[in-house]
């Protein structure tokens, strides 16, 4: 069983909540294709996360089992990554509130140019979610530098990594199901500047604290 599973759940949930291209894409899917298209995109995103996890796990086993120092380095790097994300989130919270709305609308408008046939298609939504996730370098960074620190070294490392990949995907699915439901009920619920600012502040502080704890080996 992977170590610190609760901390891993909290970390992945908070990262899933961060405003960005993923949420802009989900908003676009709900507005143009409804919840059906959004469900396909959610599944595509989850598949991408699994692929990132398996790719990282394939080269992770030998490194972790051969050198405790290598494991410690990966753990520290992962903590630094979380701290960096937390700091950048806090900085974004201090910027002009309207900027988050502007960025979201711009991304949604860009996605709206996708072929009309894909708008209401579960398959089209799936491919869109998969492509967006695989093209997101932040997902790869998380899989390589953050996920390994939660992997157990007392058992099959590959299986532990794969299990965490499944958990990561399920956490993202649960968040985006809730998020798209809220968007479907009323976009103003999640796009108001005040809500986005509070979300960024809370998320930034928690990620920063988690990053420090992870780097320290707590």
pLDDT of 171 > 90? The answer is: yes
The answer to whether residues 60 and 189 touch, using CB atoms and an 8 Å cutoff, is: no
pLDDT tens digits, 51-104: 888 888 877 544 554 667 766 776 787 778 778 877 877 887 777 454 444 545
What's the total number of domains in the chain?
Answer: 1
Q: Given this model, what pLDDT does residue 115 score?
A: 43
Q: Given this model, what pLDDT does residue 191 score?
A: 58
- The encoded tokens of residue 162 equal 């794969």
Mean pLDDT of 3-7: 78
Mean pLDDT of 181-200: 71
Q: H/E/C letters for each residue in 129-186?
A: HHHHHHCCHHHHHHHHHHHHHHCCCCCCHHHHHHHHHHHHHHHHHHHHHHHHHHHHHC
Instruction: Indicate the angle between helix axes 21-58 and 97-111, nearest 10 degrees.
Output: 80
Q: Given this model, what pLDDT does residue 39 score?
A: 92
Q: How confident is the model at residue 109 (pLDDT cuts 50, 70, 90)?
A: very low
Closest CA to 128 of 107, 149, 151, 152: 107
Q: Is 4 left (phi over 0), alpha (psi -120 to 50) or beta?
A: left
- Most confident listed range (10-24, 100-114, 147-161): 10-24
Q: Given this model, what pLDDT does residue 176 score?
A: 96
CA dist 19 → 45, 74, 148, 180 (Å): 15, 26, 24, 13
The answer to whether residues 26 and 179 touch, using CB atoms and an 8 Å cutoff, is: yes
pLDDT tens digits, 31-50: 777 788 889 999 999 999 99
Instruction: Indicate the angle between helix axes 193-215 and 5-17, nearest 10 degrees.
Output: 150
pLDDT of 125 > 70? The answer is: yes
Closest CA to 25 of 203, 172, 205: 172
pLDDT greater at residue 146 or residue 110: 146
Q: Given this model, what pLDDT does residue 93 score?
A: 74
pTM score, whole prediction:
0.63
- Domain hosting residue 181, numbered range: 5-215
- The encoded tokens of residue 208 equal 């920063």
Q: Given this model, what pLDDT does residue 166 score?
A: 93
- Which of the residue ranges 59-63, 134-138, 198-202 would you say has the lowest mean pLDDT? 59-63
């Amino acid at each position: 069983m992977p170590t610190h599973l609760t901390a891993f759940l909290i970390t992945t949930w908070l990262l899933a909540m961060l405003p960005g291209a993923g949420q802009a894409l989900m908003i676009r899917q709900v507005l143009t294709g409804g919840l059906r298209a959004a469900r396909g995109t959610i599944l595509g995103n989850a598949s991408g996360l699994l692929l990132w996890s398996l790719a990282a796990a394939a080269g992770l086993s030998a490194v972790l089992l051969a050198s405790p120092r290598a494991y410690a380095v990966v753990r520290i790097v992962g903590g630094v990554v979380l701290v960096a994300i937390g700091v950048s989130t806090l900085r974004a919270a201090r910027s002009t509130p309207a900027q988050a709305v502007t960025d979201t609308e711009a991304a949604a408008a860009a996605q709206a140019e996708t072929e009309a046939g894909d708008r209401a298609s579960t398959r089209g939504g799936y491919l869109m979610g998969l492509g967006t996730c695989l093209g997101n370098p932040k997902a790869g960074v998380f899989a390589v530098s953050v996920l390994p620190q939660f992997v157990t070294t007392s058992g099959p490392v590959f299986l532990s990594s794969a299990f965490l990949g499944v958990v990561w995907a399920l956490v993202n699915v649960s968040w985006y199901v809730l998020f798209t439901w809220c968007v479907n009920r009323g976009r103003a619920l999640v796009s108001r500047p005040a809500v986005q600012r509070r979300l960024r502040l809370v998320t930034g502080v928690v990620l920063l604290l988690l990053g420090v704890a992870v780097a320290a080996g707590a």
